[in-house]
Structure 1
Amino acid sequence: MPTVKTSYLGDLRTSSIHLQSGNQLITDAPTDNMGKGEAFSPTDLLATATGTCMLTTMAIVAQRDEIELAGSEVEVTKIMSQTPPRKVARLEINLKMKANIALSAEQIKKLENTAHKCPVSLSLHPDVEQVVNIEWL
């Protein structure tokens, strides 16, 4: 069974439906590539998927150890290649982590290792540079 169904709406815009939940997502081509930039671009979604995957997998591991990471955030800066072919060249990922308890060095290491091994991050081509900074607040 498909996961997502996407329709091209014209004017460089798509509408995607997550078939399990019915949630909808609109994409636009970015302004630097003939688009309006009024919604996420496909490469914005790649950046978003990487950051949210890191945060989510860290939360899964934390939850198993009865640690709550609510209030944690991730910011991702996407940098496109300057030479053809057009592609994401670099992702700068800044995680600002909050935990409900004081964490040991071992717990922090376990959670940080989890971030680097999230499925999206591991699925990216090795040419996509991933610079990850994790700050514990």
Structure 2
Amino acid sequence: MVKSTGVYKGGLNCELTHGPSNQVIETDAPKDNHGRGLAFSPTDLTVASYASCMVTTMAIASKVKLGFDIPGIKWEITKEMSTDAPRRIVRMATQVWLPFPKSKDPEGVLEKAALNCPVHHSLNPAIDKPVTFHWAE
């Protein structure tokens, strides 16, 4: 079990502390929802967590099943919010760039791992979550 704590600082800004490491991050409401957009919003953190979870899960699978590390993988994720109530994430489109050819993973271990990360399984299934993998030639 991991504990985190938080405090509302005012002005739609929160400070979050990760219990085990004491690392602190801030959130701010987005400009399109009464905020200043000066930090990740809570929904921004959700999509960033999803992408980093996919890549972390890929790295674990690569180490355990393929026998190599995968530094240099990059990603981009875009978030789309609903236009109707309640306000919610409706689409998270992810692109992942791998710095090596698909021939290093002929059985698709990495893509399967990404699409089965814990955050993916924790999100509402109504969220559209397309993922595109770009392999080096």
TM-score category, normalised to shorter length:
over 0.9
Aligned mates of 1:71, 1:105 — CA distance in 2: 19
Change beyond 3 A, Cα 1:125–1:101: closer
Query: How big is the shift at 1:134?
Result: 0.7
Equivalences for 1:11-90 in 2 at 5 Å?
Answer: 11-64=11-64, 65-90=66-91
Verify the 8 A CA contact 1:96 1:135 in the aligned structure 2. yes
Counterpart position of 1:133: 132
- Structure 2 unaligned residues grouped into runs of 5+: none
Aligned mates of 2:40, 2:26 — CA distance in 1: 7
Query: How big is the shift at 1:62?
Result: 0.6
Structure 1 residues 82-134: Cα deviation after superposition (integer angstroms, max 9, x where no partner)? 1111100000010111249951421xx11101100000011100111101101
Give the structure-1-normalised TM-score.
Answer: 0.93
Query: How big is the shift at 1:74?
Result: 1.1
Aligned mates of 1:120, 1:14 — CA distance in 2: 22
Verify the 8 A CA contact 1:70 1:99 in the aligned structure 2. no
Query: What percentage of aligned pairs have identical amino acids?
Result: 36
Letter in 2 for 1:81: S
Give the structure-2-normalised TM-score.
Answer: 0.93
Letter in 1 for 2:98: M
Counterpart position of 1:91: 92
Verify the 8 A CA contact 1:28 1:36 in the aligned structure 2. yes
Verify the 8 A CA contact 1:81 1:88 in the aligned structure 2. yes
1:15 counterpart SS class: strand
1:125 counterpart SS class: coil
After superposition, the CA RMSD in angstroms is: 1.6
Aligned mates of 1:10, 1:82 — CA distance in 2: 26
Query: How big is the shift at 1:63?
Result: 1.3
Aligned mates of 2:95, 2:86 — CA distance in 1: 27
Aligned residues: 135
Verify the 8 A CA contact 1:67 1:100 in the aligned structure 2. no
Counterpart position of 1:110: 109
